[in-house]
Structure 1
Amino acid sequence: MTKNNRFFDVCIMCALAEEAKAVLEVISRRCGVSFEQGYSTSDNYEYRYTMIQNNKGESLLIHVSWPPDNGPLETSLHFKPVLKESHPRFVAMTGICAGDKRKVKLGDLVIVDRAFIYDNGKIVIGEDGQREPLHDVKTYNADPSVLQAVRLFDSWKPVVTKLKRPSSMRQQREWLLSKLLEEATPQLQKIDLKELEKHVPDWRKIVQELQGGPGSYLTKEWTLKNPSSIHQLRYGKEVFPFKDPPQPESHIAPMASGSAVRSDNPFKDVQIPVRGTVAIDMEGAAFYRTVEEFSNIRSLLVKGVCDYADKNKDDTYHRYASLVSATYILCFIQEYVTEERMPGSREYQPYGRESPFLLWNVPYRRNPFFTGREDLLEQLHEKLTATKAAALTQPQAIS
């Protein structure tokens, strides 16, 4: 355990502890490293850190943190001291978001080019007696050089395909309805239990939903109420039964942030001020806004779509979306954060008068783990253990 008194190359911020766990898991597994605990000097909050290698074999010191509570205010209050103490070259936020189902699929990645707070402004009563929002929006943007690199970045794709993708509730539901149309399995009990659990792991919950409500599909005997209506779905606008895409896609697009979790499909409203918005979360705008205070730090916000912010909202895709976004950001860090793009020897501009200016004139970043010197240490060992005498000398550095 240590106090944060060093420079970090990269800070990864997560809004939820479960998102931070996904980051730790992905980096540990992909890079073969373990994390150590650290504590910030300003508020004594815990963080985790480790050393990894980028694609050029350069060492990167990684800092992973999460706020004590969720929401935009907590994100800003927690994240500013992190940047102030750690002086990273690059910062990222990963995690989960809700997506517009007309534009994205579950598990897709949203690479946020700009974020905004969608519930800023004023609400009035219109002439029709309905509430009318008058938006007052300011967007907070990713670094242009980062976005340029993102547009041709695709080395994350073969890595993400190795992640086990859960079956969406829609895929499970439509597989079951299609199976009940078959002559051999007109009733739920006729379906082999192993096959049922393989294709519909949440079948108990889904059966209950299909039996409930005025538009229910199943009878109390677990048969289709109206087989012909299900059969007609095969000739609709979308393919029936629905199948989840084999791998996620990435979308470089705006994201809206608000102060509440939504399950009322709010996308038509949040797209009024920024029409290209494809996702919503609670912390994205606060993240980019906080980074704006540090002009020498580059940043990127990446989130995985875990639901559609509608009445069918559930937690099925939380873990997968967290892992996908963490995997993407790790691959991007290893590709993008290099001495060539962001020299580690640059001078840091301290934030605020109370922040001490840390002197470091060596043209390489500090390496607290003292790694990458195996050849030199081997030579030193051979010299010191030889039969003849050996000595360590230091040429005069200052005349």
Structure 2
Amino acid sequence: MNESTRKPRVAVVFGGRSDEHGISCVTAGSVLAAIDREKYDVVPVGITRDGRWVLEADEPAELAIRDNAFPSVDEDRAAVSLERIAGATDLVVTEPSSPPRTLGEVDVVFPLLHGPWGEDGTIQGMLELAGVRYVGAGVLASAVSMDKAYMKVVLAAAGLPVLPSFTVTERDWSRDQAGVRERAEALGFPLFVKPARGGSSYGISKVHDAGELDDAIAEAHRHDPKALVEAAALAGREVECGVLGSLHGGDPETSVPGEIRIGGGHEFYDLEAKYLPGQETELDIPADLPEDVVVQLRELAARAFEAVGGEGLARVDFFVMPDGSVVINELNTMPGFTPTSMYPELWKATGLPYPELVDRLLQLALNRGTGLR
């Protein structure tokens, strides 16, 4: 096949160094199974927990949760790297006792990485330097959206509603614990303490009273030296909305909103409620909401996406309060992406099935250059 007729080569990159390594692997299994192999040449690339890049097996079924255990990248596989060769960026495989071999030019990377060192602008910056197109948000939008504290600053500056909060670094905590406790009391209990740059509910605690605050901050700092202390949205309904970039450069599109109803004794949408079977968590898609609230949610989702400079995709999470008011909880630039995750389910209900959603994201990336835009 000559260069003009060959299929675009997609490097599906997953795993990574963050706490969400296993969740990233599950997401990759779903995407690998859904990509149209008649249309794309696919190369799975895993990033181990210590940050090494390896050429993974193209076996989506192996990247599934089994017995409540998450999969991980095979650390024993051949190393792989991106190298600029003759004006193109190729995938080069290196194995012991063998000369390096190239897999050919990479046309687009699908970075299915959650959390720091992947969803936070780091890999996006590397791909920009390498001149490789990629799915999803750019460097700034990824970095801002990963850091919940800065995300709130940006959204509030754009006139969007967010919950009151403050940050506590390890330095803050070591220097002035009494001051932190006083600020938390001012927010009121219950409240939430979470890693500022985490996801999938790792390290999050619901703090019912002052006696639980110290342990909650210690748990958040175990995952991130920067913690966020945030007011609780009492009686708020958890509603999410998907955003998708336009292929033709128009306004971003939004999905129907969906509501998460948590069962199984969970006080909030924690890791088990999100990912493990038998947790009695239900998704209502579309959410049972008044039409004016639905319109408001979709408008706010698009505004939040544009406020952070989003590209490709995002899921915007809201609380709908008993009086009908809406606040934004957060914006995720690489949301959970298995066929049963909220983001794909929202688009399925809006008329875009999972395989078509994957293709749409790849086409958005292929039609977008790297560099300033």
Given the two structures, how large is their TM-score scaled by the length of structure 2? Answer: 0.28
Point out which structure has higher relative CO (alpha carbons under 8 A, 6+ apart). 1
